[in-house]
């Protein structure tokens, strides 16, 4: 008789197969629960950029430059965007909220509920955007390392569940921020 057909060895093989089946079933349940939970997470893609509003009979040089922040729901969960904000700092992060109640420009304003694929776009004329940077630049200058704080600057949104999503401003916005930051530092430095 072949030793593999021994009833005792066959019993151990059956027990091993049952154990592997049980482990596989538990693993499949864990993966299914993880994936179902993942669909309920909030996911927002944020972008901060300069846009150009070109009217009829206008060239790009004559257009109005607008600062735009766009938040797009890329998750499956419905999300309500409550606030616009900035994040400053690397290790000690500070969140500064943008007051949208006094916006003069006809634009979307939070709060706005976003389903999958929906977006919120807030646009301001460049002059109004620059005028609203005073408080942000003051907070950056209070940081122990202002240049590092400036480089860590992120634009973002906060949802109704207090989750925040941030993105690095694009090159055009970063250039405007850098110019304003340098101007504010020069005005604060003591004159000799």
pTM: 0.73
CB 132 within 8 A of CB 144: no
Higher pLDDT, 185 or 192: 185
Reported as a single tens digit per residue, the pLDDT across 75-106 is: 888 999 999 999 998 778 889 898 877 666 67
Which two three-digit tokens encode residue 111?
């709060």
CB 83 within 8 A of CB 120: no
What are the DSSP calls for 105-121, one per residue? S----S-EEE-TT-EEE
Per-residue pLDDT, 93:
86
pLDDT-derived band at 120 (thresholds 50, 70, 90) equals: very high
Instruction: Give the range with max mean pLDDT: 31-35, 106-110, 148-152, 158-162.
Output: 158-162
Per-residue pLDDT, 4:
59
Per-residue pLDDT, 190:
63
CA-to-CA separations, 93 to 78, 111, 153, 157, in angstroms, rounded: 27, 24, 10, 15
């Amino acid at each position: 008789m072949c030793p593999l057909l021994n009833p005792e060895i066959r019993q151990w093989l059956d027990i091993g197969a049952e154990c592997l089946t049980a482990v596989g079933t538990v693993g499949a349940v864990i993966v299914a629960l993880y994936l179902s939970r993942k669909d309920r997470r909030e996911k927002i893609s944020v972008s901060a950029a300069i846009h150009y509003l070109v009217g009829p009979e206008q060239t790009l040089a004559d257009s109005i430059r607008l600062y735009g922040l766009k938040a797009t729901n890329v998750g499956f969960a419905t999300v309500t965007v409550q606030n616009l904000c900035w994040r400053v700092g690397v290790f000690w992060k500070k969140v500064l909220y943008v007051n949208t109640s006094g916006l003069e420009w006809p634009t979307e304003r939070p709060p706005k509920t976003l389903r999958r694929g929906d977006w919120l776009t807030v646009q301001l004329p460049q002059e109004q955007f620059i005028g609203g940077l005073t408080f942000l630049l003051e907070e950056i200058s209070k940081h122990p390392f202002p240049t590092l704080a400036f480089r860590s600057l992120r634009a973002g949104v906060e949802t109704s569940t207090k989750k925040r999503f941030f993105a690095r401003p694009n090159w055009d916005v970063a250039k405007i921020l850098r110019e304003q930051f340098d101007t504010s530092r020069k005005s604060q430095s003591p004159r000799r």
